[in-house]
């Protein structure tokens, strides 16, 4: 056989129960993996009722991962999968303590002994202790002379043979990580940290091969994170994963790395340097500098990250770029972002152009009466920026930018170096929260999960978060992205925990009460700031969590996240906010709801 923990668990579940998560056999064993009371006590789901091996289920459930009853456990296949992975990890440690790993690689009664075979046999008939071996331990120590059976007559040797050969990595599996550029060349001397188990597992710089100093020894299913030193200081997480095989190698390509070096003195006439944005618009190429990000580049050139990916297919889905990299940007003209209530004719009038010219510059606009708030509109000329969302163009570079109405808009001002060379300095009014990797990951998870959900089966939140970490959707049942299931808080909590925006699965059932929970996780409510400038949910920064209280007596309220494409998402996705639709007058209250908080995390 071949495969890792996922494949092993699937095979065991098929053999034990036919993959039926609701089943209880006549001996009282329950679920996909046929757990008894003793196993679930060891796993922390159940408290002993004094008859650990009778399986009458008269004890008390602990509430772990939201499981408070036998019925909860039977109705939660995702939790059973979590319990299965954790259970075999426990069995692995017990096998090592007994010294059973010394038999790996040997052949007994014609069966090659493997770690997965040992663990499967232990799941069937146990393994005993060093002083009193039993089950699979008895089989190995007796060289196959004793072949214990379970209550249904299945022999240990059958499971050892049937489930052999899976790479579970429980016996000191190794993880190696390497960093390469886009040409697949190694990147040496990158400062890094490997984090896991609540600590830093390894810290150093990559070697000449771009590899970490030495492979890490990890137990299977250990979650680890890889952080690199940022150009502007500090560390940035660029990868997170779970050990799924005994030898796990990860190759990461083209991160932004901390670099040092000298710049050449300008040899031309003073005052001839244009700012980088203007030069890029003239050439159509932006050269990445220290501190750049795709999001910042897109904003600077009046476009979107999605558009940059379209015209630079080599970027793929990665957000990783490096200094010196050339990125194509659209040149000519500038851009504005449509605000709630704006019309195309109003935008044309403000920017000294016509509706016809705007339509020619924006082929996607087929109906001039149908534009959406948050939609980028390209301006075909270099007219002066008078709108708060306008990106500076060459013709407007000599005039100071107008103050931004929306808190997430970047404006520019002109300055000169000591030798008189003009430069452009980015300013923010007020400073918007950065669109961090965790924010991007939260948005990715919501974009994935809004396409899935079973209206008849409510998923277990912590288990769904664990699935999201593995990039698996919240359900296997597809649905329309616009369809709400009445589970807004659950979907947002899953995205918060799985992305690392929250360190835990937030407590509570009512979305309207999410504020205190978010505050505990380090979020701040920008509506509590005197200069927030928020007039509607459409002014909320990308990645902010919008909490709605009620005005109609409802017990639940609502919660949603402002997405990078201008829409809002929870258990569904929509261009309309909860209190107002696109094109309606700005408001923070309507349709039985009131915005009580716009929560951001730096």
pLDDT confidence band for 247 (50 / 70 / 90): low
DSSP state, 436? -
pTM to 2 decimal places? 0.39
pLDDT confidence band for 168 (50 / 70 / 90): confident
The CATH number of the domain holding residue 221 is 2.60.40.1120
- Determine the distance from the C-alpha atom of residue 349 to the mean position of all C-alpha atoms in its chain, rounded to a whole number: 42
The CATH number of the domain holding residue 379 is 3.10.350.10
Residues 451 and 590 in one domain: yes
**In the predicted structure, residue 505 carries a pLDDT above the cut 90:** yes
Output 198 or 495, whichever has higher pLDDT: 495
pLDDT confidence band for 229 (50 / 70 / 90): confident
Residues 415 and 301 in one domain: yes
Hey, is 470 helix, strand or coil? coil
Hey, is 559 helix, strand or coil? strand
H/E stretch holding 348 reads: helix 344-350
The CATH number of the domain holding residue 39 is 1.10.530
Residues 204 and 315 in one domain: no
**In the predicted structure, residue 338 carries a pLDDT above the cut 50:** yes
In this structure, of 45-49, 178-182, 189-193, the range with the lowest mean pLDDT score is 178-182
Torsion (CA) 179, 180, 181, 183 in degrees, nearest 10: -170
Residues 155 and 30 in one domain: yes
pLDDT confidence band for 320 (50 / 70 / 90): low
CB 24 within 8 A of CB 32: no
Q: Residue 349: its pLDDT value, please?
A: 77
CA distance 578 to 547: 10
Residues 401 and 289 in one domain: yes
Residues 36 and 92 in one domain: yes
- Residue where one domain finishes, among candidates 125, 141, 162: 162
In the chain, what percentage of residues exceed pLDDT 90?
Answer: 43
**In the predicted structure, residue 278 carries a pLDDT above the cut 60:** no
Sign of CA dihedral 293, 297, 298, 299: positive
**In the predicted structure, residue 579 carries a pLDDT above the cut 90:** yes
CB 327 within 8 A of CB 297: yes
Tokens for 125?
A: 């008939």
- Residue where one domain finishes, among candidates 141, 162, 183: 162
The CATH number of the domain holding residue 496 is 3.90.1720.10
Residues 492 and 561 in one domain: yes
CA distance 297 to 304: 9
End-to-end CA distance of the chain, in Å? 47
DSSP state, 163? T
For tokens 């009466």, what's the residue? 369
- Report if residue 581 sits inside a domain: yes
The pLDDT tens digits for 533-561 are 788 999 999 999 999 998 888 899 999 99
For tokens 């939260």, what's the residue? 442
User: Between the ranges 102-106, 214-218, 429-433, 497-501, where is the mean pLDDT highest?
Assistant: 497-501
Q: Residue 284: its pLDDT value, please?
A: 58
Q: Which residues 6+ apart lie within 8 Å of 141 measured at CB?
A: 133
Q: Residue 565: its pLDDT value, please?
A: 87
- Residue where one domain finishes, among candidates 401, 428, 455: 428
Q: Residue 260: exposed, middle, or buried by beta-carbon count in 10 A (0-12, 13-18, 19+)?
A: exposed
Average pLDDT, the chain: 79
Q: Residue 362: its pLDDT value, please?
A: 72
Q: Residue 416: its pLDDT value, please?
A: 36
Q: Residue 222: its pLDDT value, please?
A: 62
DSSP state, 240? E
Q: Residue 186: exposed, middle, or buried by beta-carbon count in 10 A (0-12, 13-18, 19+)?
A: middle
pLDDT confidence band for 254 (50 / 70 / 90): low
- Report if residue 265 sits inside a domain: no
- Report if residue 267 sits inside a domain: no
- Report if residue 266 sits inside a domain: no
**In the predicted structure, residue 406 carries a pLDDT above the cut 60:** no
Residue 212: domain span: 173-253
- Determine the distance from the C-alpha atom of residue 44 to the mean position of all C-alpha atoms in its chain, rounded to a whole number: 27
Beta pairing partners, 490:
none
- Determine the distance from the C-alpha atom of residue 284 to the mean position of all C-alpha atoms in its chain, rounded to a whole number: 32
- Report if residue 261 sits inside a domain: no
In this structure, of 101-115, 122-136, 392-406, the range with the lowest mean pLDDT score is 392-406
Residues 226 and 112 in one domain: no
Residues 200 and 280 in one domain: no
Residues 363 and 302 in one domain: yes
For tokens 């360190």, what's the residue? 503
Q: How many domains does the chain have?
A: 4
Residues 110 and 31 in one domain: yes
Residues 553 and 521 in one domain: yes
- Report if residue 529 sits inside a domain: yes
573: number of Cβ within 10 Å: 22
């Amino acid at each position: 056989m071949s495969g890792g923990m996922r494949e092993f668990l699937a095979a065991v579940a098929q053999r034990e129960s036919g993959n039926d998560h609701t089943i209880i056999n006549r001996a009282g064993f329950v679920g996909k993996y046929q757990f008894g009371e003793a196993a679930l006590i060891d796993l922390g789901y159940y408290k002993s009722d004094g008859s650990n091996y009778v399986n009458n289920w008269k004890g008390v459930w602990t509430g772990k991962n939201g499981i408070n009853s036998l019925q909860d456990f039977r109705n939660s296949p995702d939790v059973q999968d979590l319990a299965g992975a954790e259970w075999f990890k426990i069995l692995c440690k017990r096998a090592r303590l007994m010294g059973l790993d010394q038999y790996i690689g040997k052949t007994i009664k014609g069966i090659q002994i493997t770690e997965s075979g040992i663990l499967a046999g232990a799941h069937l008939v146990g393994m005993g202790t060093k002083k009193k071996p039993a089950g699979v331990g008895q089989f190995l120590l007796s060289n196959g002379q004793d072949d214990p059976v379970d209550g249904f007559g299945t022999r240990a040797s059958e499971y050892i043979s049937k489930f052999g050969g899976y790479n579970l990595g429980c016996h000191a599996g190794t993880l190696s990580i390497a960093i390469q550029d886009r040409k697949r060349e190694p990147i040496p001397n990158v400062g890094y940290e490997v984090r896991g188990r609540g600590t830093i597992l390894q810290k150093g710089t990559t070697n000449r091969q771009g590899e970490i100093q030495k492979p890490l020894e990890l137990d299977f299913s250990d979650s680890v994170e890889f952080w690199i030193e940022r150009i502007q200081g500090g560390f940035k997480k660029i990868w997170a994963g779970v050990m799924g095989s005994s030898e796990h190698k990860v190759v990461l390509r083209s991160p932004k790395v901390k670099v040092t070096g000298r710049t050449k003195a300008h040899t031309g006439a003073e005052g001839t340097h244009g700012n980088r944005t203007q030069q890029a618009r003239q050439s159509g190429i932006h050269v990445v500098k220290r501190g750049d990000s795709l999001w910042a580049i897109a904003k600077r050139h009046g476009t979107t990250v999605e558009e940059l990916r379209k015209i630079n297919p080599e970027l793929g889905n990665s957000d990783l770029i490096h200094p010196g990299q050339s990125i194509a940007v659209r040149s000519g003209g500038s851009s504005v972002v449509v605000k709630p209530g704006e019309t195309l004719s109003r935008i044309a009038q403000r920017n000294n152009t016509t509706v016809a010219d705007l339509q020619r510059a924006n082929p996607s606009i087929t109906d001039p009466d149908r534009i959406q708030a948050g939609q980028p509109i390209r301006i075909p000329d270099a007219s002066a920026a008078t709108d708060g969302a306008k990106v500076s163009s060459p013709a407007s570079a000599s005039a100071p930018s107008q103050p931004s109405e929306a808190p997430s808009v970047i404006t520019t001002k002109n300055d000169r170096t000591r030798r008189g060379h003009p430069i452009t300095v980015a300013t923010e009014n007020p400073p918007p929260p950065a669109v961090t990797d965790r924010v991007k990951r939260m948005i990715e998870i919501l974009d994935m999960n809004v396409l899935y959900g079973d209206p008849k089966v409510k998923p277990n939140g912590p288990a769904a978060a664990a699935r999201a970490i593995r990039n698996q959707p919240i359900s296997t049942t597809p649905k329309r992205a616009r369809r709400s299931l009445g589970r807004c808080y659950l979907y947002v909590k899953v995205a918060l925990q799985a992305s690392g925006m929250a360190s835990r699965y937030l407590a509570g059932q009512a979305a309207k009460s999410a504020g205190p929970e978010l505050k505990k996780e380090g979020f701040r409510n920008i509506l509590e700031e005197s200069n927030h400038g928020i007039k509607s949910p459409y002014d909320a920064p990308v990645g902010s969590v919008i909490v709605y209280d009620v005005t109609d007596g409802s017990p639940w309220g609502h919660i949603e996240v402002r997405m990078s494409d201008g829409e809002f998402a929870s258990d569904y996705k929509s261009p309309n906010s909860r209190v107002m639709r696109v094109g309606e007058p700005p408001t923070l209250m309507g349709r039985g709801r009131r915005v009580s908080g716009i929560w951001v995390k730096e």
